[in-house]
């Protein structure tokens, strides 16, 4: 797994700043007195820091942006990073500042001099999450976090508990990113299940169901998706029992590669369909986070792992399959496969665990990207309280999410002439009709939230807290929701 950058909190010591190597960083505003660390650096640089802070270039910086003074006179450091961050900065601005420091840091060591700042923890979160690079398949590059980060502050002991929490969440985010980044010839269904089984070392209980067990359970919708692939379909069930309360169930789509099946996708961009297991990857990251921080909550995770490939044994448009619930499904598009996986896993989650609520995550539709772009995940729900809890947690963590509608008129679009339902309603309202399909497999009275992360799991460029590639979107929001709603 990609390693987190090491962060150590030490008492503020200004005596050896002249000889400290690597990079030095300060949190500054354009006006007001310099703090003790900045005054010491300014004296060593013979006033260069004051002159730089008074420049037009620094004045034009937005909160969270960085000005770098390279190879400063009077210091052994290779650079001094001046971060513009007012004391009343928002959490997002502070995380942006940390991310900017992580980008500037590269593989060098960094000493962050912050006597006191109310947003220091958010700055460290930005550093942890942005200092990521997936290099497992590069032969000539070392992992990014080579040099660590030393935080010198007036009360380092106050950072001990927040840093432990930050690390637990960041480890979960990195696990998700690593899983989503893996190519499909490496992260097969069997390898995915093996890596999930390895999480038992954290205290999670992990079960793996093979195809024979799935067939016995009646999961023929899930099995239909994988029947064209040589990779065996699997269901992985993970449990974290940090309390005796009835569990929250998390359900994830784990399509390790989606060719579209017989309804094959265009060649352009198909290589990115290794990320179609993003829902399952995100939930794996959440479960690892819960275990690492010893969450006082009971959470179960159910991940359907399949590969959707065209072959002589693949499901065809026009086929009819029977779900575990018993509903028959007409397959009109084999590229609408994720909802078939989720249908059976959602039903099993309720049948076995009778949970307090169900949240499913899936890179389900391109339609949600048309509707919301890459800034927001689409949120669908039959329960206002659970939906509000998730949306509030996502907002608090800076992960964009937007509630979308459900309604009987949308359900009419997936009525089938020959079966109980069809798996696609066509081009219009595609994200909504997919959610309406899933709602058929939610029992009456069961609180349920469906989150379509097709746009947020791997956007086309970098984001504030992640380089180009997988973001790990959703780990922070779900962890926050579980803290706020299901712990204590």
- Using only C-alpha atoms, the chain has a radius of gyration, in whole angstroms, of 24
Phi and psi at residue 453, to the nearest 5°: -105, 20
- Counting beta carbons within 10 angstroms of the beta carbon of residue 266, is it exposed (0 to 12), middle (13 to 18) or buried (19 or more)? exposed
Q: Exposure string (b/e) for 373-382, b if CB count within 10 Å is 16 or more? A: ebebbbbbbb
For 22, phi and psi rounded to 5 degrees?
A: 80, -135
Spell out a b/e string for 412-436, using b for 16 or more CB atoms within 10 Å of the CB, else e.
ebbeeeebbbbbbbeeebbbbbbbb
* Neighbouring C-beta atoms of residue 97, cutoff 10 Å: 27
Which residue in this structure is represented by tokens 């995915």? 192
Measured CA distances, 479 to 90, 100, 285, 475 (Å) = 21, 25, 10, 6
- Tell me whether residue 265 is one of the annotated catalytic residues: yes
The number of C-alpha atoms within 13 Å of 155 and in the hemisphere containing its C-beta is: 9
Residue found by looking up tokens 């998730």 in the block: 390
Instruction: Tell which residue, 220, 443, 450, 414, has the closest CA to residue 326.
Output: 220
Contact 151, 122 (CB under 8 A): no
- Contact indicator for 372, 402 with CB cutoff of 8 Å: yes
- How far is residue 169's CA from residue 153's CA, in Å, rounded to a whole number? 23
CA contacts within 13 A on the Cβ side of 219: 31
H/E element, 392: helix 384-396
The DSSP-derived string for 205-252 is EEEEE-HHHHHHHT-HHHHHHHTTSSSPPEEEEEEEESSSSPPEEEEE
Residue 149 carries which DSSP code? E
> For tokens 């309390």, what's the residue?
243
Query: Token match 């048309």: residue?
Result: 370
Q: How far apart are alpha carbons 222 and 234 in whole angstroms?
A: 9
CA 189 – CA 467 distance, rounded (Å): 26
Annotation marks residue 476 as catalytic: no
Q: Which of these is catalytic: 339, 440, 476, 480?
A: 339
Dihedral angle, C-alpha 342, 299, 173, 155, nearest 10 °: 160
Q: Under a CB-based contact definition with an 8 Å cutoff, are residues 170 and 472 in contact?
A: no
Could you say which of 43, 265, 296, 403 is catalytic?
265
Q: Show which residues are catalytic.
A: 265, 339
């Amino acid at each position: 797994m990609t390693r987190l950058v090491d962060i150590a909190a030490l008492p503020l010591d200004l005596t050896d700043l002249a000889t400290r190597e690597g990079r030095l960083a300060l949190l500054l505003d354009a006006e007001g007195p310099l703090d003790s660390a900045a005054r010491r650096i300014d004296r060593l640089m013979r006033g260069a820091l004051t002159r730089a802070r008074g420049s037009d270039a620094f004045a034009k910086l937005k909160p969270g942006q960085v000005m770098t003074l390279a190879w400063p006179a009077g210091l052994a450091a290779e650079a001094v990073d001046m971060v513009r961050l007012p004391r009343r900065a928002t959490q997002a601005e502070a995380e942006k500042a940390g991310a900017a420091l992580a980008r500037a840091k590269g593989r060098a060591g960094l000493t962050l001099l912050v006597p006191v700042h109310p947003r220091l923890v958010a700055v460290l979160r930005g550093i942890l999450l942005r200092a990521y690079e997936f290099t497992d398949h590069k032969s000539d590059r070392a992992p990014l976090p080579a040099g660590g980060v030393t935080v010198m502050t007036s009360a380092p002991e106050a950072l001990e508990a927040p840093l432990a929490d930050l690390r637990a969440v960041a480890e979960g985010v990195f696990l998700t990113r690593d899983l989503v980044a893996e190519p499909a010839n490496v992260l097969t269904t069997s390898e995915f299940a093996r890596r999930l089984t390895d999480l038992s070392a954290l205290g999670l209980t992990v079960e793996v169901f093979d195809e024979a067990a799935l067939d016995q359970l009646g999961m023929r919708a899930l099995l239909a998706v994988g029947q064209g692939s040589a990779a065996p379909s699997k269901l992985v069930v993970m449990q974290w029992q940090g309390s005796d309360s009835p569990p929250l169930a998390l359900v994830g789509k784990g399509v390790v590669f989606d060719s579209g099946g017989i309804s094959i996708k265009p060649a352009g961009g198909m290589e990115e369909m290794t990320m179609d297991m993003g829902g399952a990857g995100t939930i794996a990251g959440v479960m690892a986070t819960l275990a690492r921080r010893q969450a006082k909550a009971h959470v179960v995770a159910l991940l359907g792992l399949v590969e959707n490939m065209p072959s002589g044994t693949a499901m065809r448009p026009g086929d009819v399959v029977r779900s575990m619930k018993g509903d028959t499904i007409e397959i009109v598009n084999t590229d609408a496969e994720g909802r078939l996986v989720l249908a059976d896993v959602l039903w099993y989650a309720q049948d076995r665990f009778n949970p307090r609520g169900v949240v499913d995550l899936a890179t389900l539709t391109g339609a949600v990207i048309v509707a919301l772009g890459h800034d927001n995940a689409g949120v669908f729900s039959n329960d206002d309280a659970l939906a509000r809890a998730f949306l509030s947690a996502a907002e608090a963590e800076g992960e964009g999410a937007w509630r979308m509608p459900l309604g009987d008129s949308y359900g009419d679009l997936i009525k089938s002439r020959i079966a109980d339902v069809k798996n696609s309603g066509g081009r219009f309202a595609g994200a909504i009709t997919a959610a309406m399909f899933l709602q058929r497999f939610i029992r009456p009275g069961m609180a349920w939230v469906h989150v379509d992360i097709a746009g947020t799991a791997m956007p086309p460029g970098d984001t504030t807290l992640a380089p180009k590639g997988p973001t790990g979107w959703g780990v922070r929001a779900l962890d926050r929701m579980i803290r706020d709603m299901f712990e204590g």
